[in-house]
Amino acid sequence: MAGSRRAVDPPNDSPAYRSSELRAPKRPLRPLPGRLSEVTGPLLGDLVIGPSDSDLTRQHSGEPLGERITISGWVRDERGVPLPGALVEIWQANAAGRYAHDVDQHAAPLDPNFSGAGRCRTDADGNYRFVTIKPGAYPWRNHPNAWRPSHVHFSVITAAFAQRLITQMYFPGDPLLAFDPVFNSVPDPEARDRLIARWSLELTQPEWSLGYEWNIVMSGPDATPQHEDPAA
Amino acid sequence: MNLPLTPSQTVGPFFAIGLSTSVGSHAVPEGTPGAIRVTGQVLDGGGMPVPDAIVETWQAEGTGRCATDDEGHFAIVTVKPAKHAGVTPPPEAPHLDVSVFARGLLSRLVTRMYFPDEEKANASDPVLRALSTHDRATLVAGREGSGLRFDIHLQGANETVFFDR
């Protein structure tokens, strides 16, 4: 399966994304035939995750401002096999489009009831679920009048080094998507659209919150996976 | 059935709020026999430090993760991995699998850190052998005090060798 990521991932050398200019490697990636996915590591087993870690609206004494949403979906490999126990971490701006991070100087208010970070593990069927608020769009300095579409950052760690993924989830119908160099760095339009969650009536809770479904497909497995016991 | 992959996107500048507390810079617990401190700096094509990168090391013994500081420095405590069981010959020299994420990188970079005290194993390592002497040097850590030094050059004359995934 090595190399299949290349067909969907954005090239690091993407001039429309200005920050890539001095950071994207200039030399071609070297082949590492059949080796990457053979390495398995422990699944961060000592990490303690509590209930409020996956509910970003309950991490403070009050409720955050904004549109309450559920984001849920599955994590599978390319064969469609569910990946239980994967560590899913998210971070995002608040409803006003401001991150609770020192470097974010956007003139929008912080929300004392929203830190904007959560984590969970996928269950036995490879499913994850977060409750949060819909993040706001925010300006950045990539080009004149540039605005990032609403998005949630996702990090997924499984037992396989080859599968490590960090990406962003977007919302359907966002007019800013067409102008965003990060979203549009994915060359294949179909692959790009897989970054957009689907609004889901089933996940929408009456009188409470809107629901979005977003599924994640990780690379692999290798043709002959080796599940070595790290303690052995 | 073959499901189409979810594409990568940049980690962005604000990942510290989401990633900093969950996995630490200790791939193995403090005091583990054979523990080694690996330090390094992530540098851009202008030779400037990259203060918003995240470096992860991966091996059977544990996962390390460290965000770079204002000077682009990271530090991870780990051990030299045991030889990979089950890998068909020729055998590979001990190494860490390394991921690099940063603002400005849309997709993960994958590289390897080899150990300077494994000269014999490194000389017969099939991945190192496929590289020029100059390129090979970007993957072998240097010694620094009682630990190791592994700088990551994203661009430039000493650009680190990165691997296809």
Spell out the per-residue pLDDT of chain B, length 165, in tens: 689 999 999 999 999 999 865 567 888 887 889 999 999 999 999 999 999 999 999 888 888 899 999 999 999 999 999 765 445 556 889 999 999 999 999 999 999 999 999 999 999 999 999 999 999 999 999 999 999 999 999 999 999 999 997
Nearest to B20 by CA among B52, B47, B61: B52
Mutation to test the A interface, candidates B21, B54, B98, B106, most A Cβ within 10 Å: B106
d(CA A90, CA A132): 10
Q: Is the C-alpha dihedral spanning B128, B132, B135, B141 positive or negative?
A: positive
The CB-side HSE value for A215 (13 A sphere, CA atoms) comes to 16
Distance from CA of A129 to the nearest CA of B (A): 16
Asked whether the beta carbons of B79 and B36 are under 8 A apart, the reply is yes
Distance from CA of A87 to the nearest CA of B (A): 10
Q: Which CATH number fits domain B16-153: 2.60.40.10, 3.40.640.10, 2.60.130.10, 3.40.50.1970?
A: 2.60.130.10
Q: Which of A82-86, A168-172, B8-12, B24-28 has the lowest mean pLDDT?
A: B24-28
Q: Could you tell me the residue ranges of all domains in chain B? A: 16-153
| Strand pairing report for B36-43 and B152-153 | parallel
Q: Could you tell me the residue ranges of all domains in chain A? A: 4-25+37-218
Per-residue pLDDT, A45? 55
Asked whether the beta carbons of B146 and A48 are under 8 A apart, the reply is no
Q: Fill in the DSSP letter of residue B103.
A: T
Nearest to A152 by CA among A116, A198, A113: A116
A-chain residue closest to B8, CA distance: A167
Per-residue pLDDT, B165? 77
Max alpha carbon distance in chain B (Å)? 52
Q: How many residues does chain A have?
A: 232
Residues of B in contact with A180 (CB under 8 A): none
- Asked if B22 is an interface residue toward chain A (Cβ–Cβ < 8 A), one would say yes
Residue pointed to by tokens 């309950």: A58
Distance from CA of A207 to the nearest CA of B (A): 29
**Beta carbons of B165 and A165 less than 8 Å apart:** no
Second CATH level (architecture) for the domain A4-25+37-218: Sandwich (2.60)
Residues of A in contact with B68 (CB under 8 A): none
- Kindly state the tokens that stand for A223: 């043709």
Residues of A in contact with B98 (CB under 8 A): none
Residues of A in contact with B25 (CB under 8 A): none
Per-residue pLDDT, B146? 92
What pTM was computed for the model?
0.93
A-chain residue closest to B43, CA distance: A23
Return residues 126-155 of B near A (CB < 8 Å): 127, 130-131, 154-155
| Strand pairing report for A198-199 and A210-213 | antiparallel
Say which residues have a Cβ less than 8 Å from residue A177's Cβ, sequence separation at least 6.
A149, A170, A183, A184, A196
Nearest to A220 by CA among A30, A124, A86, A89: A86
Q: Which of A13-22, A55-64, B22-31, B57-66 has the lowest mean pLDDT?
A: B22-31
Nearest to A169 by CA among B55, B139, B8, B43: B8
